[in-house]
Structure 1
């Protein structure tokens, strides 16, 4: 693709991109396919994906079926001593507790352990560029209560006002973490800390769960970096997927977004929605961490889009699109960000647990 802005976010821009690549009349069932990690523009456009990215404060829990769960999650975390100690650790010593290990690995994801040499020219260029992670405190969101504003985050920069410095110096000022597994461990440990002491029949796993999407002309595989999965032996149903990268998302935003879109499609194909499905908005969630920043992506699609993937569209039916609503980043080095994100992550797990306990619909 020519530039990051070329990832379509509305149907008209998708059509422009499809015409540019001469695939406006092609379907996913007619082209050669690559794995999710090596997806190219033709395949991406044939998946009919629209990406809509917004800052965390624009996340509307009601739109994605989380409004009631957010309140329940906040109430559950309020008396949780380990959670309070975790939030306090951003400005004081880290105490023992369930969130101690996630915090340890979150700190590790900020460390590059790479020795950098700045020549005279680069030293002058990077004089005003921060050499610490950008401040990312959340402004008041729709689900945030009025009672807490931690001292450690009082002077953080509101989201939407962060600055990484000049684009050409991103890799120098924010070098990628030395091993992707550090972010993977940090994220999955953090996710499990919310549910490990609760009577849940599901958990977050580091298992790189594969999903295979089969089409008429071929198939492709997508391997996640983890997932929220039911633990019963009869059906290891997936409730959310995980993807991590060792570098800032903005450095390879286009490539990362295309891979995550392919993973979402493969999940939809490999684990179909129940019979009677009409539309989905927020039931499929992707949690990603890129270096020290966390993002949430919610999938929205219709029955017709599923028919498109299954090659069962009627003659007069429109295929529609898979719309991915991406929010972030939440900074793992900012207590305010982590507090807001914690509520959402527990809400996602609570909703999944309710779904797990409900009887499967009759076919």
Structure 2
């Protein structure tokens, strides 16, 4: 089956795919049944009315300048992060670098994902940092660094800070990337450790990453029920509201060979939207899924309007079902590679920026004074 029929990118592609499956007038409530999110087929995916444009390079990931500047200030004293970035791309045993702090666990899990046995036989002088001009005070935001800019052939974004020049005692190693990690739990540990370590550094942070798998209640669509499990989520402890979802897979992401991975993400997003439809306290500016597939990390943003929510809730005009105008649009950025220093520096910026925005929103709701840094 063609990619456009599995994962339509445009309204026209969706209509063609839905027509070929005789789903133009079907909805989630009129399907015979709904499997769990992890068992979705193309028919349920099309009934969710999802558009999935092409993957966008990481240097186009949106980070507002004023948020990036606040992240820069937090990271000024985040020595463990700089040591972590220096360690990325090496085979050095993280257990021999106590100064990494919590990033010891992050690097240990990442090396396991990459199927690399840490080197312990040779002595290391440890990482040495030589900031580039762009990292000096007053330097402008110049993007995600030369490594990724050259590999993608795209211009550098102005809203993302540059990557310091980082040198290590051990040279970077060329890896032969496996297509699948031995166990999905290894990937989950790698991603969750990274997310938690980055977020805990934010002063007065009002959200935390949980490894829980069931943040959402079952959702009803007529006589059908949708049950969605996750691999983790970002939550506000005071009211348990969710701000981001985590998904991991042991295998490398491949839209053509494994579209079911993205069908599952869409189902998780639909379950989340429906759970929030009538009960959310803290406004949510952006719904995101942070996912890791083998050694690559992606961030997917979801956008929809009131007409799409009406469709999910069965409140739309049934006469318009054969010509819908509203869809759930899943915009995917990536990949950030866990063995690439500039990628990991930029991902740290993106994650900390998002958690800062979440914290700001929670503080506004609770009437807390000031901002977290």
Kindly provide the CA deviation profile for residues 146-169 of structure 1, in whole angstroms up to 9, marking residues without a partner as x. Answer: 4634457xx99xxxxxxx9xxxxx
Q: Which has the higher strand share?
A: 1
- After superposition, residues 18-33 of structure 1 pair within 5 angstroms as 18-31=18-31, 32-33=33-34
Q: Distance in 1 between matches of 2:4 and 2:314?
A: 30
Farther-moved stretch of structure 1 (69-78 vs 324-333): 69-78
**What residue in structure 1 maps to residue 42 of structure 2?**
41
- 2:66 corresponds to: 68
For the Cα contact (< 8 Å) 2:302–2:329, is it kept in 1? yes
- SS of 2:8's equivalent in the other structure is coil
C-alpha change, 1:324 and 1:204, in structure 2 (3 Å) is: same
Q: How many residues align?
A: 315
Mapped contact 1:108–1:182 kept (Cα < 8 A) = yes
Quick check: 1:297–1:324 contact (8 Å CA) kept in 2? Answer: yes
Deviations 1:270-306 (A, max 9, x none): 12277899x98x6100000011110000001001111
**CA 112–79 in structure 1, closer or farther in 2 if over 3 Å, else same:** closer
Q: For 2:248 and 2:280, how far apart are their aligned partners in 1?
A: 32
Match of 1:16 in 2: 16
Q: 1:67 and 1:221 mapped to 2: Cα distance? A: 38
The 3-state SS of whatever aligns with 1:359 is: helix
Distance across 1 between alignment mates of 2:55 and 2:45: 21
TM-score, length-scaled by structure 1 = 0.78
Q: Which SS does the other structure have where 2:23 is aligned?
A: coil
Alpha-carbon offset, residue 60 of structure 1: 4.2
CA distance in 1, matches of 2:361, 2:195: 18
1:107 is aligned to 111
CA contact (8 A) 1:203 1:229 kept: yes
Residue 179 of structure 1, CA deviation: 1.3
Structure 2 CA distance for partners of 1:301 and 1:77, relative to 1, 3 Å: same
CA contact (8 A) 2:163 2:345 kept: no
Displacement over 6 Å in runs of 4+: 273-277
Partners of 2:208 and 2:234 within 8 A in 1: yes
SS at match of 1:17: helix
Partner of 1:50: 51
Quote the offset at 1:55 in angstroms.
3.6
* Contact kept in structure 2, 1:61 and 1:67, CA below 8 Å: no
Contact 2:115 2:178 in 1 (8 A): no
1:33 match: secondary structure: coil
Gaps of 5+ in 2: 118-145, 150-155, 368-373
Q: How large is the RMSD of aligned CA atoms in angstroms?
A: 3.0
Residue 54 of structure 1 aligns to a residue whose secondary structure is coil
Counterpart residue number, 1:122: none
8 Å CA contact 2:68–2:160 kept in 1: the answer is no
Structure 1 residue ranges without an equivalent (≥5): 114-135, 157-163, 165-172
Which digits, 9 at most, give the CA deviation of each residue in 1:217-238, with x for residues without a partner?
A: 3111010000001112xx2000
Describe the superposition over 1:218-272 as per-residue Cα deviations: whole angstroms up to 9, x where unpaired. 111010000001112xx20000000000010127441111111111111101122
1:196 and 2:203 are equivalent in the alignment = no
Given the superposition, is the C-alpha separation of residues 45 and 72 from structure 1 closer, same or farther in structure 2, using an over 3 Å criterion?
same
